Amino acid sequence: MAPVVPHILRYESLASTNTTLKELSRSGAQAGTVILAKQQTQGRGRTDRSWSSPQGGLYFSLLLKSDQMHRTTDLPLLAGAVLSHTVKRTLPSHLSIGVKWPNDCLLEGRKVGGVLCESTGDGRDAALIIGVGLNVNIPATQLVAFQERPFKATSFLECSPGKVFDLDAILQAFLGIFFQAHEKYMDKGFRFLQNYWEKECLLIGREVELKNTGLNQEKESSTGSNRGRFLGIDEQGALVLSKAEGDRQHFVTGELTCCW
Ligand code: BTN
């Protein structure tokens, strides 16, 4: 497979980089197209939430086509692990950084970034948009968007006051790490991704709680909450919880929190 070459299109302000890239994809944009905006006025997050996107954050979307993935469902996990890897490369090593299932990035126990993947087109035109948001040079006073959630928001600036981070360098680092990991994933398949993702995750082996879950065995969702030891992800990317010795449950949806 020919390597994907990233091609960055820069904007001052967009409603949502994912939305713009979806439109460009429909009119024939190539794999590797990246839409970057300094701010978004209608940034979107997972589960129909909004994504607060003031100037100072990093907001971009990357286009991949269907022949650049084994399964669409793998890429959100890959992007989440790469985001955590990128943040680790950028910030001092004493900080605790890792991916939270499926693809949030935690910094010192708080959410610093996230990934929204959206499919578009079908058949030979099928494509995946990987949208990434990262709270970089954003002061604590502006981090209001997630304050009601179990994992409150943070930013690079909150953890390193007074330092201004180079957004372009972070984007380049992400793309470099992404395409290296992507090549291994295309070559070795999900097994590579599972190991890579689990290495980037700080919560494995910890007692966690999963709310609003969907159990894949039952193919139905419930609004209940489940506590147990987080064992990792299975070959479908589902979260595996052990509630008691020998008992394992696999969840395809849910909001993970940690029982400290
Ligand atoms: C999440 O809910 O954790 C995912 C947030 C993803 C936000 C990014 S910012 C760039 C791209 N454009 C959007 O509208 N959303 C994604």
182-200 confidence digits (pLDDT tens): 999 999 999 999 999 999 9
Treating both helix axes as pointing N-terminal to C-terminal, what angle do 74-90 and 190-200 enclose, rounded to 10 degrees? Answer: 40
Q: Which atom of ligand 1 is nearest to the CA of 40?
A: 14
Q: Check residue 223 and give its pLDDT.
A: 52
Nearest to 254 by CA among 246, 237, 42: 237
Q: Check residue 218 and give its pLDDT.
A: 44
Which distant-in-sequence residues (6+ apart) come within 8 Å of 51 by Cβ?
A: 40, 43, 44, 45, 114, 116, 133, 145
- Confidence category of residue 146, pLDDT binned at 50, 70, 90: low
Contact 114, 105 (CB under 8 A): yes
Which distant-in-sequence residues (6+ apart) come within 8 Å of 187 by Cβ?
A: none
Instruction: Using the predicted structure, report yes or no on whether residue 106 has a pLDDT greater than 70.
Output: yes
For the residues 175-179, what does the mean pLDDT come to?
98
Q: What percent of the chain has pLDDT over 70?
A: 91
Reduce the DSSP state of residue 156 to 3 states and report it: helix
Q: Check residue 257 and give its pLDDT.
A: 83
Q: What percent of the chain has pLDDT over 90?
A: 75
Q: Which atom of ligand 1 is nearest to the CA of 17?
A: 12
Q: Which residue has the higher pLDDT, 260 or 154?
A: 154
Strands 104-107 and 127-134: unpaired
Residue whose CA is closest, atom 2 of ligand 1? Answer: 45
Length of the chain (residues): 260
Q: Which atom of ligand 1 is nearest to the CA of 18?
A: 12
Residue whose CA is closest, atom 5 of ligand 1? Answer: 45
Q: Find the DSSP H helices in the chain.
A: 17-26, 74-90, 156-159, 167-188, 190-200
For the residues 83-104, what does the mean pLDDT come to?
96
- Structure token pair of residue 69: 């993935």
Distance from the alpha carbon of residue 53 to the mean position of ligand 1, in angstroms: 9
Residue whose CA is closest, atom 15 of ligand 1? Answer: 44
Which distant-in-sequence residues (6+ apart) come within 8 Å of 128 by Cβ?
A: 63, 64, 65, 66, 69, 72, 75, 117, 118, 119, 120
For the residues 65-78, what does the mean pLDDT come to?
94
Instruction: Using the predicted structure, report yes or no on whether residue 221 has a pLDDT greater than 60.
Output: no
Which has the minimum average pLDDT: 30-34, 45-49, 140-144, 256-260?
256-260
Pocket of ligand 1 (CB under 6 A): 16-18, 40, 43-46, 49, 51, 59-61, 104, 114-116, 131-133
Mean pLDDT of the chain: 90
Q: Which atom of ligand 1 is nearest to the CA of 114?
A: 3
Q: Check residue 2 and give its pLDDT.
A: 76
Contact 65, 99 (CB under 8 A): no
Whole-angstrom Cα Rg for the chain: 18
Residue whose CA is closest, atom 16 of ligand 1? Answer: 131
Using CA atoms, how far residue 26 sits from 17, 49, 88, 241, in Å, is 14, 24, 35, 39
d(CA 78, CA 186) in angstroms, rounded, equals 11
Q: Which atom of ligand 1 is nearest to the CA of 45?
A: 2
Ligand 1, pocket-test mutation among 21, 38, 55, 59, most atoms within 8 A of CB: 59
For the residues 115-123, what does the mean pLDDT come to?
93
